[in-house]
């Protein structure tokens, strides 16, 4: 088993080191790092914009680049949080709590330096996990019939919608809405047109890119426009030599790094708990085990290192279910899965054996990409810091152009550009009504496969719904679903107020942040055990 994995990895490096793939990997992490730094641009919108441009590329290069954007943005997001106190990227919101005070003490460089290093540690662990766990998972998953796949998808969807941000009921609503949107267009089996309103352009369904850019591009711009206060860059003069930590700093960071890695990898194994939850749980854990919990929030290096490590470990770990089972854990993964589907690759347990170049190439590119990111972030920190000063009034109109041309390029059709406007309005309304639209994408991407497998399972069992509980593996998944729902209801009825995880609403309204008097990005209680959101 292990030799097989190592042989696969070796093969992966040979794929990832092909000049073209190496270049795409570099482009991906570079763009990712850039958008991570820019307040108001997220990896989701960026990946959706880049997606149509990858149609002409080979699948390996395309997926390497898009994945690079995802983890590259995590490196950039930390810069934004530590130097500006702007939690524009949810996983890094918690880093502001101790990162910004460190910056005010003139130790922002140290915080950044250790963040880059700990990120690399966390990511490395996540990748190692992926190398050894994925083949095992695949072995199990290859035995799955339609009933198992179906209940596994249901579990993934349920976890993705209830454990993420905000109210669980609203999360499930978004997933169902996503599933419904996924059913627009021709029915897979009969070719019947569904919800097309007689528009021939909708025959192929709603365009994934239009959906993603409407929800995470236009709706976000509408939220942020004219809401951003002038960014305070007075502390952002960081030079390379400021980044060297003292011996004491390093010593204090080692244990938090381990704990962060652990939390992150655990969170990545539970579907639906992405990097954001991982970082919040890590911060709470660190505060709990600390001998001086009262000092947290005043610039403790532990409070920076631990959540950052766990974010990165969880980001890489999130690829495990996506690539080995074909079940994405969050919206970004759903988008990457969509990219694979567009390239004509069927995601699922057969992916590793059928397309080893994609799987192992991706894994190998993670190492390369993370090393590139360390190289990009340490010597070039000055450039990233300068980018922080780009005002939003230049950013969003340019981004609007990228949105338009990106959607146009998907099909060379203006109809989809109009689709983006409609979805953008819907997305903004949903945001204002307190929904978080990320699960829509999950439902949308999984929808057609869910329906197909459900129908097949019903056909095999001759229309007997009991098949889902009669087959043992499927029964386990169904039981987990039930536990998840009952658990949520229980927590709700108990009226838990001191939740560890509160959605960083501020992330959507960076304008609310003022410099020294800034409100804490999100209240945290010391109770790390109750990680279930409100």
Partner 1 sequence: MKHSLLYKRDFYAGGLMILFGLFAAFNGPRYSLGTLMHMGPGFMPTALGVILTLLGITIAATALTEKEGEGEEGILPEHPQWFAWGCILASPLAFILFGKIGGMIPGTFMCVFVAALGDKDATWRGVVALSAVVTFFGVMLFHYLLKIPMPLLKWDFL
Q: Which is nearer to partner 1, 266 or 400 (CB)?
A: 400
Residue 475 interacts with partner 1 (CB under 8 A)? Answer: no
- DSSP run (H or E) holding 185: strand 185-186
Yes or no: say if 84 and 37 are a contact pair by the CB < 8 Å rule.
Answer: no
CA-based end-to-end distance of the chain = 41
> Which of 60, 25, 65, 18 shows the shortest CA–CA distance to 344?
60
> Which of 529, 528, 488, 507 shows the shortest CA–CA distance to 159?
488
- Enumerate residues 422-441 that contact partner 1 by CB under 8 A: 424-425, 428-430, 432-435
Per-residue binder mask for partner 1 (CB under 8 A), 118-137, x = binder? --------------------
DSSP string, 111-175: HHHHHHHHHHHHHHHHHHHHHHHHHHHHHHHTT--HHHHHHHHHHHHHHHHHSSSS-HHHHHHHH
Residue 389 interacts with partner 1 (CB under 8 A)? Answer: no
Among 132, 137, 227, 491, binds partner 1 (CB under 8 A): 227
Cα separations in angstroms, 408 against 63, 414, 415, 484: 21, 6, 8, 40
Residue 517 interacts with partner 1 (CB under 8 A)? Answer: no
Q: Which is nearer to partner 1, 1 or 394 (CB)?
A: 394
Residue 390 interacts with partner 1 (CB under 8 A)? Answer: no
Count of residues that bind partner 1 according to CB under 8 A: 62
Stretch that binds partner 1, among 148-156, 274-282, 297-305, 412-420 (CB under 8 A): 412-420
Q: Which is nearer to partner 1, 371 or 409 (CB)?
A: 409
Q: Which is nearer to partner 1, 138 or 210 (CB)?
A: 210
Q: Which is nearer to partner 1, 221 or 359 (CB)?
A: 221
How many whole angstroms separate alpha carbon 357 and alpha carbon 16?
9
Burial (0-12, 13-18, 19+ Cβ within 10 Å), 36: buried
Residue 345 interacts with partner 1 (CB under 8 A)? Answer: no
Stretch that binds partner 1, among 16-24, 266-274, 346-354, 453-461 (CB under 8 A): 453-461
Determine the angle formed by the axes of helices 108-141 and 95-104, rounding to 10 degrees.
Answer: 160
Structure tokens of 465?
């719904």
Residue 27 interacts with partner 1 (CB under 8 A)? Answer: no
Among 18, 201, 242, 451, binds partner 1 (CB under 8 A): 451
Q: Count Cβ neighbours within 10 Å for each residue of 48-75 and write b for 16 or more, e otherwise.
A: bbbbbebeebbbbbbbbbbbbbbbbbbb
Residue 397 interacts with partner 1 (CB under 8 A)? Answer: yes
- Enumerate residues 166-205 that contact partner 1 by CB under 8 A: 167, 169-170, 172-173, 176-177, 179-180, 183, 187, 189-190, 192, 194-195
Yes or no: say if 75 and 43 are a contact pair by the CB < 8 Å rule.
Answer: no
Query: Which chain residues interact with partner 1 by CB under 8 A?
Result: 53, 167, 169-170, 172-173, 176-177, 179-180, 183, 187, 189-190, 192, 194-195, 218, 221-223, 225-227, 392-394, 396-398, 400-401, 403-405, 408-409, 412, 414, 417-418, 420-421, 424-425, 428-430, 432-435, 451, 454-455, 458-459, 462-465, 509
């Amino acid at each position: 088993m292990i030799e097989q994995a190592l042989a696969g990895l070796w093969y992966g490096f040979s794929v990832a080191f092909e000049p073209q793939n190496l270049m795409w990997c570099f482009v991906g992490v570079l763009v990712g790092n850039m958008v991570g730094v820019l307040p108001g641009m997220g990896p989701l919108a960026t990946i959706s914009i880049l997606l149509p441009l990858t149609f002409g590329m080979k699948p390996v290069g395309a997926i390497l680049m898009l994945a690079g954007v995802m983890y590259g943005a995590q490196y950039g997001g930390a810069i934004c949080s530590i130097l500006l106190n702007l939690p524009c990227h949810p996983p890094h919101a918690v880093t502001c709590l101790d990162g910004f005070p460190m910056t005010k003490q003139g130790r922002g460089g140290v915080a950044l330096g250790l963040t880059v290093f700990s990120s690399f540690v966390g990511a490395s662990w996540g990748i190692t996990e992926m190398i050894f766990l994925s083949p095992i998972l695949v072995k199990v998953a290859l035995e799955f019939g339609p009933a198992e796949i179906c209940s596994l998808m249901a579990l993934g969807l349920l976890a993705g919608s209830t454990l993420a941000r905000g109210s669980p009921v609203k999360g499930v609503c978004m997933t169902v809405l996503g599933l419904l949107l996924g059913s627009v267009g021709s029915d897979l089996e009969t070719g019947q047109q569904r919800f097309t309103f007689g528009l021939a352009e909708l025959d192929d369904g709603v365009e994934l890119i239009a959906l993603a850019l409407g929800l995470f591009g236009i709706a976000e711009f509408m939220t942020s426009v004219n809401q951003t206060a002038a960014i305070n860059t007075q502390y952002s003069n960081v030079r390379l030599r400021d980044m060297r930590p003292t011996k004491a700093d390093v010593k204090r960071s080692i244990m938090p790094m381990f704990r962060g890695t652990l939390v992150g990898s655990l969170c990545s194994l539970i579907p639906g708990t992405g990097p954001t939850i991982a970082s919040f749980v890590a911060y709470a854990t660190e505060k709990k085990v600390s001998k001086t919990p009262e000092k947290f929030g005043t610039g403790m290096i532990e409070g920076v290192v631990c959540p950052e490590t766990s974010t990165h470990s969880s980001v890489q770990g999130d690829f495990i279910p996506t690539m080995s089972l074909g079940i994405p854990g969050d919206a970004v993964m759903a988008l990457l899965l969509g990219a694979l589907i567009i390239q004509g690759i069927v995601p699922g347990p057969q992916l590793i054996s059928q397309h080893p170049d994609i799987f192992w190439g991706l894994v190998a590119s993670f190492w390369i990409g993370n090393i590139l990111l360390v190289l990009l972030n340490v010597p070039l920190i000055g450039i990233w810091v300068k980018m922080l000063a780009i005002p939003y009034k230049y950013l969003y109109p340019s981004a609007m152009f990228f949105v338009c041309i990106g959607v146009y390029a998907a099909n060379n059709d203006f109809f989809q550009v109009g689709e983006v406007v409609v979805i953008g309005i819907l997305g903004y309304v949903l945001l204002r009504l307190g929904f978080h639209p990320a699960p829509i994408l999950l439902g949308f991407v999984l929808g057609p496969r869910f329906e197909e497998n459900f129908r097949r399972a019903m056909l095999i069992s001759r229309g007997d719904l009991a098949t889902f509980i009669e087959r043992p593996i499927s029964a386990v998944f169904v039981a987990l679903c039930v536990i998840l729902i009952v658990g949520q209801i229980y927590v709700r009825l108990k009226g838990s107020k001191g939740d560890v995880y509160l959605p960083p609403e501020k992330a959507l309204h960076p304008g609310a942040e003022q410099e020294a008097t800034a409100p804490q990005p999100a209240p945290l209680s010391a109770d790390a055990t109750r990680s279930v959101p409100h």
